[in-house]
């Protein structure tokens, strides 16, 4: 299974989503040697965000549900759009990356291989998240997705919008799915936040995206110097502080 769902309180509408924390790889057509792969993983993995989410879930008064991707985004990135509307295709980083963090070629172009990876990993992951949201909606009348990410302190070459502010915590918001109260609650528990820079928007399953305001969502992008040694190093004392802030955000959701 390329993902894990960790159950929460039956009465909780909250889903912590952790898509980019894993370094686990499978055979997926990567051309690089071990040292080059390690370099890509160091720069592109949202290291330790699974630990932040797990500790926050443990500390929250009402445990949220959690979905964690157990494969690296170098296999398939579950948060990309599957069609031509995905803007990261311009960097060679659609659902199946052909290029890495600095434009290095990762894979040959192969639509057949890409279709097989989407079928075996991207689509089952999307279905699992859609089902989890649906079940929270059935149980509580709504779903609140908190997307947990991190980003490099200095802009990486692949970033399409890397010239804007890089606050300690970037809040990714969507016009339809991010209500003011949710964004304000996050700003109250995380110090020094900004909105939609350097990364914008948040993840909502396509069955609900732009259609159902009962699905709320917010992306939490943590600048890596706040909690770890870059790139790809060990966590520091800031991790516990950020986990407590995330737990406080979960507790602020009614």
Over residues 31-43, the pLDDT tens digits come to 999 999 999 999 9
The structure's pTM equals 0.97
Q: How many CA atoms lie within 13 A of 227 on its CB side?
A: 23
Distance between CA 226 and CA 150 in Å, rounded? Answer: 10
Mean pLDDT of the chain: 97
pLDDT exceeds 80 at position 1: no
What confidence tens digit (pLDDT) does each residue in 152-197 have?
999 999 999 999 999 999 999 999 999 999 999 999 999 899 999 9
Radius of gyration of the chain (CA): 17
Handedness of CA 154, 157, 158, 159 (dihedral sign): positive
Rounded alpha-carbon distances, angstroms, from residue 207 to 109, 202, 214: 29, 14, 12
* The pLDDT value given to residue 191: 86
* The pLDDT value given to residue 52: 98
What confidence tens digit (pLDDT) does each residue in 62-113 have?
999 999 999 999 999 999 999 999 999 999 999 999 999 999 999 999 999 9
Phi and psi at residue 206, in whole multiples of 5°?
-60, -30
Handedness of CA 187, 193, 195, 200 (dihedral sign): negative
Helix (H) or strand (E) holding 112: helix 111-117
**Percent of the chain at pLDDT above 90?**
99
Check: CB of residue 245 under 8 Å from CB of residue 55: no
Q: Per-residue confidence at 201, pLDDT binned at 50, 70, 90?
A: very high
């Amino acid at each position: 299974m390329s993902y894990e769902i960790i159950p929460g309180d039956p009465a909780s509408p909250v889903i912590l989503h952790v898509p980019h924390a894993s370094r686990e790889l499978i055979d997926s057509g990567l051309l690089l040697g071990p040292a080059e792969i390690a370099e890509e993983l160091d720069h592109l993995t949202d290291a330790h965000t699974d630990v932040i989410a797990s500790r926050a879930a443990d500390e929250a008064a009402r445990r949220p549900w959690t979905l964690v991707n157990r494969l690296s985004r170098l296999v398939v990135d579950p948060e990309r759009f599957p069609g031509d509307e995905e803007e990261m295709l311009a960097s060679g980083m659609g659902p199946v990356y052909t290029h890495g963090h600095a434009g290095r070629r990762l894979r040959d172009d192969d639509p057949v291989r890409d279709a097989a990876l989407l079928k075996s990993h991207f689509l089952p992951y999307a279905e699992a998240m859609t089902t989890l949201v649906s079940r929270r909606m059935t149980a509580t009348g709504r779903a609140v997705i908190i997307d947990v990410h991190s980003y490099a302190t200095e802009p990486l070459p692949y970033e399409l919008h890397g010239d804007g502010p890089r606050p300690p915590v970037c809040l990714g918001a969507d016009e339809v799915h991010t209500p003011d109260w949710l964004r304000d609650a996050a700003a109250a528990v995380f110090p020094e936040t900004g909105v939609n820079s350097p990364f914008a928007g948040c993840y909502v399953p396509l069955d609900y995206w732009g259609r159902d305001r009962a699905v709320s969502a917010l992306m939490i992008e943590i600048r890596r110097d706040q909690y770890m040694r870059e790139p790809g190093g060990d966590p520091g004392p800031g991790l516990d502080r950020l986990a407590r802030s995330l737990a406080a955000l979960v507790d602020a959701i009614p």
